[in-house]
Homo-oligomer: A and B are copies of this chain.
Amino acid sequence: MSIEEGKNVWLFPDGELPVPDENSDVEAHEALMILNTSNKDANIRLSFYFEDKDPIENIPQIVEARRVKCIRIDHPDEIGGVEIQKSIQYALRVESDVKITATFGRLDTSSEKMAFYTSAWHNY
């Protein structure tokens, strides 16, 4: 609600889409959650970085004023048609015209087990 609340850029260095496990009744995935507490819609651009090729940059997103949005990275239709390969290292950059708060998480269900993972981040 304040002009100082949130940050314009969020960097998440550790993404790796888990392989779905057909025997699990919870669905392995990675997702980006963005909170916009301001009174203006946020125009956001996502960029994906890789180990051995150029980044895919500036996929547009909108997060409305006073809303949170969950974006599934394993659902190409939610990220402008981009298809991220399973089990490869990638990183995520989020840039917004209004200040936001973002988090990025993984739910892994490999091997009949289940685990959440929270990557470190930098924002500015």
Contacts and interface: CB of A to CB of B under 8 A. Distances in A.
Interface residues of A, number: 57
A2 B124 contact: yes
Give chain A's interface secondary structure class: strand
Interface of A: 1-2, 4-7, 9, 11-14, 24-26, 33-35, 37, 47, 49-52, 54-55, 66-70, 89-91, 93, 101-111, 113-124
B70 A105 contact: no
Contacts of A14: 33, 70, 103, 105
A102 B13 contact: yes
Total copies of this chain within the assembly = 4
B93 A120 contact: no
B26 A51 contact: no
A26 B110 CA distance: 7
B35 A91 contact: yes
Given A6-B122, A35-B49, 7 more contacts: A4-B124, A14-B103, A49-B66, A51-B68, A68-B90, A103-B121, A115-B116
Contacts of A116: 106, 108, 115-118
Contacts of A69: 51, 89
